Structure 1
Amino acid sequence: MIQELFQQVKSRVAMPIISAADKKVNVPTDLLWRCPRCGNVVMMDDYEKNHKVCASCSYHSRLSAFERLALTADPDSFVELDPDMKSVNPLEFRNYPKKLEQLQRSTGLRDAILTGECTIKGHPCVIGIMDSRFLMASMGSVVGEKIARAFEHAAKLRLPVILFTASGGARMQEGIISLMQMAKTAGAVSRHNAEGLLYITVLTDPTTGGVTASFASLGDIIIAEPKVLVGFAGRRVIEGTIKEKLPDDFQTAEFLLEHGFVDMIVSRHQLRRTLGHILKMHIEKPAGEVGENG
């Protein structure tokens, strides 16, 4: 009897102890959503009704260009510019055309940006929205050309421009042609600015590389969503170059606000209202209208 008791105790000791953290919970992607930052799990319907923002920690998930447009523009006010423009393969990069075709089918976009005219709270503007689903919204010839044309169109009609940025940087499949878009877009912004017109950039997650180093940093007013990643080179590259440890919040919207790179951080829930208010303050007077002071 004593021997049997010893065997029972031995078998219990040998059993592995599995903690709750070791158990993997499979969350159905069509029913529930798990926040990648805090781990909070909510119903997918509630998550989408909250504009894809975590109700627990305010994590702002990435949006498609069409989702962003629906949250920003007045209903039925959007008219797309250059809808048929698409990239070629200037470097004959292997499988690049095939990859573009696949992304065009899956995203509904010709390339990584959607541009057009719309109204926000009744105020007309030209809008551009980058979509990270399309090759991480890398800036190639089409992205640069569409942005340049959007600014030229806005200058002709004397309209403000609002650009939602989200990009991994230059598009390596187009080589130097991709890098040339930095100068092209910066030049278009400069000409629009010379006309005394308003340009607003809204930095979303992530905004990096050549996009940050060109048109994303040139807005008259620069807005960012909370805790988004904004920078040029990556953290490891910078730390390896300067041989110093960077702050934990380096390249976040909050860090950039503190150091004067960003003018304001606005939650997604308040963004449409904020943009409408800024457009209202900067709206031009009709031709021939004279102010109170003549």
Structure 2
Amino acid sequence: MPTRRSLTVVVGAVLGAGALVTAFPFAWMVFGSVKPRSESVAYPPRVLPQHPTTEYFRQLFQELDFGRYLVNTVAVVIIGMAGVVLMAMAGYGFAKFRFPGREPLFFLVLVTMMIPVQVTMIPTYLILNGAGLTNTLLGIALPGLVSGFSVFLFRQFMSTVPTEMIEAARIDGSGEARIFFRIVLPLSRPILAVQAVLAFIAGWNSFLWPLIVADDERLYTLSVGVSLLNRQIATNPSLQMAAATLMVVPVLAVFVVFQRFVVQGFTMSGLK
């Protein structure tokens, strides 16, 4: 018993030290975002700010147009969230419906997971350009609307929904839309949370595609704005840390809120 307790203490100490090392860059970023420039370039450096200030966050929104970048990013995320429902419908169809060609179609969905995004960027751009959607927020968001990996996750999870429950609803006279929205989706809350987090992260961190498809700087997302900031103002670490904090904190907040559902969703989807 003492040996086991000692081992628990040692493991806990090692994990705690690892957590502190991992969290230190994040803490440095957050504290650096509220430091005056004189403190951010001081030597030796200090972790905690002596005279905290929010002037750099105000500068981002008042002088550097980050308010517009934030609105663009939120719009891309909202459009991406609509794709979660579409992918849920596709996963439900593959899981619970029998139709000719179901297995070959699902195989094609899996094949798309093996194709790098960079390979499809040129044909995607040409399609959107032909549709007149380049240099628009819709054109930025559309390629991320669906993903083969997400359809696969939905299919795996919805395969666990009891078929008897669906058949009973059909016997009671419920239509397919009612069954999907009133029965299947409520039972799929864990995997919906997983996909919502993944869609949020993908939309929030979108960088390369907005840079390619948007010529107008007013359509840039936050990640593109941070990249421009690093090239234009390379002598103010506090301003750069403020922009990085604006990018990272919302993602961490969303993950912390949905963490329990994310773990549950991956576990129940059959992923080890």
Q: TM-score normalised to the size of structure 1?
A: 0.22
Quick check: which one's strand share is greater? 1
Structure number with higher relative contact order (C-alpha < 8 Å, ≥ 6 residues apart): 2
Q: TM-score normalised to the size of structure 2?
A: 0.23
Quick check: which one's helix share is greater? 2
